[in-house]
Structure 1
Amino acid sequence: MKARDLSVLIGVILVIVMLVIPLPGWLLSVLILINIILALIVLLVSMNTLEPLQFSVFPTLLLLLTLFRLALNVSTTRSILSNAEAGGVVDTFGSFVIGNNPLVGFVVFIILVIINFLVITKGSERVSEVAARFSLDAMPGKQMSIDADLNAGLISEQEARERRKKVENEADFHGSMDGASKFVKGDAIAGIIIVLVNIVFGLIIGMTQMGFSFPEAIDTYMRLTVGDGLVSQIPALLISTATGIVVTRSSATGDNLGTDVSAQLLQYPRLLFIAAGTIFLLGLTPINFFLTTTISGLLAIGAFYMLQKKKEPLVKDEEAEDQEETTALKTQENVINLLSMDPIEFEFGYALIPLVDAKQGGDLLDRVIMIRRQLAIELGIVIPVVRIRDNIQLNPNEYRLKVKGNEVAKGELLLDHYLAMTPDMDNDLIEGIETVEPAFGLPAKWISEDFKDEAELSGYTVVDPPSVVSTHITEVIKRHAHILLGRQETKELVDHLKENYPILVEEVTPDPLSIGDIQKVLAKLLRENVSIRNLPIIFETLADFGKLTNDPELLGEYVRQALSIQLTKQYTSQDNSLRVVTVSGKVEKIIAESIQTTEHGNYLALDPDTQQKIIQAINEEVEKLTLQEENAIILCSPAIRMYLKQLLDRFLPQVIVLSYNELEPSVQVQSVGVVNVA
């Protein structure tokens, strides 16, 4: 243990000992001076902190210093009552204040105690209480502000975590200060009681046990009591002042309290001329003319000097800014920064600004935050921050989405309308503007608020514009999740998994599989809308088969089979049934015989005619299911699933392809069609 840590522990133990063991006068004097020094250091530190968290140990330190001061009070009281002395420091303080008149000295001491208790201590306690309550009340708003800045791309994930931690620490600090301020109040009350005890019992003990006359007892015990009270009240006053400074110092801009006070109090030098004129006019009254004229003259000279000094930096600052801008444009780093690209961008026309502006009721930023959380749960990856900005080059009601700098989706919104969709377009009787629902491409209409209730009663699905764009953003991110998952993002997922499964991760990477190999496997799963949240099972499979092959396509198939429970639950209905289109043995044989093996992996080599026939047969079955409003799911053998999916990705990407090994035995499979070729 370090010497610094030991010193604090020993100090606390000695404070406890002081409450029991009598101390000699010279040692009491040393400890009293140490108490005053510590209180002065605390006050100076509090004046030089820029924010409360820089002195986060203050609540605990306040308790320790209060305990130390009370232990000193007990020790000095014991010494005063038993020996009629308490060391040179106490005697000197008492003699200096009382002088030749004990009553006047005692009155001065009482005034000092009242100032400390009723003004400083009471005010610090109230400020701490209010600051704690306001800090807790402001936490949700601060958290939302951080999330909004993160979502808008103004800060990084790391900065957001640091700011959230800071908000939590501030709330904890103010809560601790609220409780610690009660120590100060209790200490002030205890000091008053100890003074009364010293005087009353000192007089009794002095006259009954020590043989003092009444004047001698008054002189001795009044002097010692006042001295003891001063050496305890002065540190208490310093600590109480430090408490108020720390709690109220919420928006510092300078290096310390002196800088802030001087900069803000004297920020309007012209006002000093008014103060100087007022003091000068007071000199025309019976008040000392020479004194008021001197003071007003010094104020006027100071105001003139500050005005001149304030003008000079303005010119210098403007020149410095121009020079910095010119230099920045010439530097290579400025050009390099232009190469950075946001993973996801949402741009919108000026008419859609109310969608984002919280002052106008827009909640898109909050919705995007919820989308990122939702997709983290559904897909198992951390979606990057969505950069949201307006673009005057777009049409007023238009928006577009970019992924890695490429436009992947766009749409139009009418903020004063609702999007209405109906499954039965033949009975479409509601008036509105024809459009297409952007997320799924369904026919829809923009209707005014006057027709909203009528549309809902007629069976339409009515959606407000924020929900339309939120759904669109969600679906676009889902479709491009495999693009957003790069090697860096994969490394972060692996590091997170390693915290709980270190041996499992070490068995997979860096040998036999690199981060790039793992990224390809995870991207393959995301491309087919398979969640990678269950990373332990995925890595267990990679650990089993990674030594046999490093082909990401083949490893992806093994992982899919290991996730059979997840896939079964994802596609089966509530009655545990699954309606599928199966692949005939003839088609499976054609595909299996067309697989070509090369040193770079396997691929499907079908002749164009056969390929066209298979796609046509699958398309016919898909159209039948679409008319029945069911998902198009193709079920085939494990040997050809990967190749059949690769074939359909170019023509029918929305079709789901499953193998028998990817379904649990308990699921009830119903074949509603067969893919066959003549």
Structure 2
Amino acid sequence: MIAQTSRLQQVQRWFKQGLGAPLVILALLGMITIPLPPWLLDVFFTFNIVLSLVILMVTVYAKKVLDFAVFPTIILVATLFRLSLNIASTRVILLEGQNGGDAAGKVIEAFGAFVIGGNYAVGIIIFAILVIINFVVVTKGAGRVAEVSARFTLDSMPGKQMAIDADLSAGLITQEQAQERRKEITQEADFYGSMDGASKFVRGDAIAGIIILLINLIGGFAIGVGQHGLTFGEAVEIYTLLTIGDGLVAQIPALLLSSATAIIVTRVSGDTKDMGEQVENQLFSDPKALAVTAGIMGAMGVIPGMPNLAFLSFAAIAGGAAYWIYHNQQQAKLVQPSLSDPKDDTPAKPAELGWDDVNQVDLLGLEVGYRIISLVDQSQNGQLLDRVRGVRRKISQELGFLVSPVHIRDNLELKPNQYRIMLMGVAVGEGEVMPDRELAINPGQVFGEIAGAKTKDPTFGLEAVWIKLEDREEAQALGYTVVDASTVIATHISQVIQDNAAQLLGFDETQQLLDKLKQSSPKLVDHLVPDSLPLATVVKVLQGLLAEKVPIKDLRNIIAALAEKAVQTKDAAQLLMHVRAALGRAIVQAIIGMKTSMQVITLDPSLEQLLMQASQGAPEGQLAIEPGLAERLHKTLRSEVEKLEGQGEPAILLVSPQIRVQLARLFRFSLPSLNILAYTEVPEGLQIGVVARVGNS
């Protein structure tokens, strides 16, 4: 026993050292070239059947196609192994067939005798039917499915990649999860592409089986009669037995492998249930189908002349199964807790009114209609809470402060599918979703239309369609970005948070940021607050940065810049200008990336001087200019922005620091893609190229 274990361990070490594939190839070549004794053929034929059964069982229990990604290679190896066996058995049949039915081994004799049963014509017909089923039905269908799956999988890759990018941008997944999903998409495309080719191996194997059958029959008759002096009847008896046995012992594993190929390529992509669970959940989930079937079978069972016992028996079985499924579903509904039902029906006496009864307005809130409650309820596999949590985590990491929790509650005044995003008690966004469907968003270029309810993406206003879950793959193949209802709401919340980040940062959040910084830089924080600046001024500066989409992650640099400038001024606008100059490298890099040059738009000196005069004496953050000048400036800048965006370049307006804040506020909503920078914010060493100069005419 110990010796056998050591030998198995030695074989395992050979395979781990990369010797497994060469040994398999040598074995296949040996089977083709070296005559094998009948007992060794029995061993190999039995192993071939076992291998085919194992492959079939693995495909049945695989939860998704990538769980058996090596399947195309296994098909090739198994096919080559079976063809090598056919060559070895054909050699033995033609050389030793005159010695009787067991000349090629007991396995071939047993299969031949069992099927033929003394009637050679019946044996040939049964074998022909088996080959036709394998070649025409299973193999041809599996090959077609593999071809179509490969094409649709490759076509849907851009849509799937865009869906991953959307989830990553919304904070629903991490960078590592995005990389894993991209890798899985690539592997899936490679798998279906390989299966398209591997199915040709299976089809060729079926054709080879027919040809080998004819060679064994014709060659056996000729050799038996011409060389060994057998009568025609003896040659027919011996070589038909051997040929049919050899064909069956090869075609049965081939049929099992073809069935495994058909099962694996017809699996629903992304399904994480094995075949048994899918059949149970989808075929027997609705009792009405079984009930109607029971009724039809019962009606046929009472017709005179029909096999009444068989029909009525199956009618009773189907009816009993329908009642059992219906009963279990009703019991499951009774034990599920209701979100709206009170826990105690006993009326309670009203307590004395106190300050606890006065509710404060939530900083961030989400109100949902009653049909969207299922997205929130985790007992019903609701994913919205996890999605929102992921959004908060991602945005908090990007902006540099902890975003307040989103309080979710139902609102019966809303439409059943409607939701509303609240900021400090005021609605800032709303939309409608379909919990039982998915949203296919048109990113700008698709290759066709998809059936469904047309709508617009509530976050960005893009054209979109609510589609059925089973149409997801088709929509992705057409170029749509497909997301579920929870992701739609979470993405909308993410955009609202980013647009209103300045309002979400208050005194408490700022103090927590300072307390955290104080752990690493205590002198810096103590010197600034409250000795040099009040906390309110620090809050206003940080809010100003967030309002202009500048993260406050580099808090140490921000506080250091404030401490440096605080000895000269306490004005929040002046302090913000100085802080932006200190963060200039990060601000510019967020716009142009790692480029060493920057294309900008500038103002004519006379216009810039005019705007600087208009900013003096005007209310804070505003420009006292005539409406006509503002309109001409807006029109000219819009034209230049469109030109730069058409060239794939970011639009940047470079101005004097004294008017940067006013211009940024003036064009914040009308030209959101225009980045307005001050001269002091441009880092040293960066090359500047002026592409346009805007005048006041």
TM range (shorter): 0.5 to 0.7
Closer, same or farther in 2 for the Cα pair 1:337/1:267, shift >3 Å?
A: closer
**Which one of 77, 100, 106 corresponds to residue 64 of structure 1?**
77
**Which one of 84, 108, 111 corresponds to residue 93 of structure 1?**
111
Deviations 1:289-318 (A, max 9, x none): 333333333333333333323322333344
Matches within 5 A, 1:276-675: 276-283=294-301, 284-318=303-337, 342-343=395-396, 358=441, 359-362=454-457, 388-389=491-492, 400-402=499-501, 405-406=504-505, 479-481=548-550, 483-484=552-553, 524-526=582-584, 529-531=587-589, 566=596, 631-632=654-655, 655-657=678-680, 662=685
**Which one of 107, 117, 136 corresponds to residue 135 of structure 2?**
117
Q: What amino acid is the match of 1:129?
A: E
**Which one of 168, 172, 178 corresponds to residue 150 of structure 1?**
168
Deviations 1:486-539 (A, max 9, x none): 89xxxxxxxxxxxxxxxxxxxxxxxxxxxxxxxxx9994546744389999xxx
Closer, same or farther in 2 for the Cα pair 1:169/1:347, shift >3 Å?
A: farther
**Which one of 46, 53, 63 corresponds to residue 33 of structure 1?**
46
Q: Distance in 1 between matches of 2:271 and 2:684?
A: 65
How far apart are 1:10 and its partner, in Å? 1.7
Q: What amino acid is the match of 2:552?
A: I
Q: Which runs of 5+ in 1 are unaligned?
A: 368-384, 408-474, 488-520, 537-564, 582-614, 617-621, 635-644, 646-652, 669-678
Q: How large is the RMSD of aligned CA atoms in angstroms? A: 5.2
Structure number with bigger Rg: 1
How far apart are 1:190 and its partner, in Å? 0.7
Matches within 5 A, 1:103-142: 103-142=121-160
Alignment partner, residue 205 of structure 1: 223
Q: Distance in 2 between matches of 1:253 and 1:663?
A: 51
Alignment partner, residue 246 of structure 2: 228
Q: Secondary structure at the match of 1:295?
A: helix
Q: Distance in 1 between matches of 2:296 and 2:489?
A: 59
Deviates more, 1:284-293 or 1:526-535: 526-535
Q: What amino acid is the match of 1:47?
A: V
Q: Distance in 1 between matches of 2:55 and 2:216?
A: 29
Q: Distance in 2 between matches of 1:479 and 1:200?
A: 86
Q: Distance in 2 between matches of 1:404 and 1:152?
A: 20
Q: Distance in 2 between matches of 1:236 and 1:217?
A: 28
Q: Distance in 1 between matches of 2:681 and 2:288?
A: 81
Q: Is the 8 A contact 2:124 2:244 kept in 1?
A: yes
Of all paired residues, the percent bearing the same amino acid is 37
Q: Is the 8 A contact 1:90 1:227 kept in 2?
A: yes
Q: Secondary structure at the match of 1:531?
A: helix
Q: Is the 8 A contact 1:347 1:389 kept in 2?
A: no
Deviations 1:412-467 (A, max 9, x none): xxxxxxxxxxxxxxxxxxxxxxxxxxxxxxxxxxxxxxxxxxxxxxxxxxxxxxxx
Q: What amino acid is the match of 1:217?
A: A
Alignment partner, residue 232 of structure 2: 214
**Which one of 96, 107, 110 corresponds to residue 83 of structure 1?**
96
Deviations 1:307-336 (A, max 9, x none): 3233223333448999997999xxxx99x9
Q: Distance in 2 between matches of 1:11 and 1:262?
A: 40
Q: Is the 8 A contact 1:28 1:87 kept in 2?
A: yes
Q: Distance in 2 between matches of 1:61 and 1:215?
A: 42
Q: Distance in 2 between matches of 1:125 and 1:19?
A: 28
Q: Is the 8 A contact 1:483 1:523 kept in 2?
A: no
Q: Is the 8 A contact 2:150 2:189 kept in 1?
A: yes
Please, what TM-score do these two structures have when normalized by structure 2? 0.55
Closer, same or farther in 2 for the Cα pair 1:327/1:34, shift >3 Å?
A: closer
How far apart are 1:166 and its partner, in Å? 1.7
Closer, same or farther in 2 for the Cα pair 1:18/1:481, shift >3 Å?
A: farther
Q: Is the 8 A contact 1:632 1:656 kept in 2?
A: yes
Q: Secondary structure at the match of 2:33?
A: coil
Closer, same or farther in 2 for the Cα pair 1:123/1:321, shift >3 Å?
A: farther
Q: Which runs of 5+ in 2 are unaligned?
A: 1-11, 98-102, 344-375, 404-420, 433-438, 442-453, 463-487, 507-543, 557-578, 609-615, 618-622, 634-652, 661-675, 691-697
Q: Is the 8 A contact 1:347 1:390 kept in 2?
A: no
Q: Secondary structure at the match of 2:492?
A: strand
How far apart are 1:404 and its partner, in Å? 9.5
Deviates more, 1:285-294 or 1:525-534: 525-534
**How many residue pairs align between the two structures?**
460
Alignment partner, residue 59 of structure 2: 46
Q: Is the 8 A contact 2:500 2:547 kept in 1?
A: no
How far apart are 1:20 and its partner, in Å? 1.3
Please, what TM-score do these two structures have when normalized by structure 1? 0.57
Q: Secondary structure at the match of 1:244?
A: helix
Q: Secondary structure at the match of 1:483?
A: coil
Q: Secondary structure at the match of 1:196?
A: helix
Q: What amino acid is the match of 2:680?
A: V
Q: Distance in 1 between matches of 2:586 and 2:686?
A: 16
Alignment partner, residue 176 of structure 1: 194
Q: Is the 8 A contact 1:252 1:260 kept in 2?
A: no
Q: Secondary structure at the match of 2:165?
A: helix
Closer, same or farther in 2 for the Cα pair 1:338/1:399, shift >3 Å?
A: closer
How far apart are 1:477 and its partner, in Å? 7.8
Q: What amino acid is the match of 2:130?
A: L
Deviates more, 1:265-274 or 1:238-247: 265-274
Q: Distance in 2 between matches of 1:36 and 1:533?
A: 63
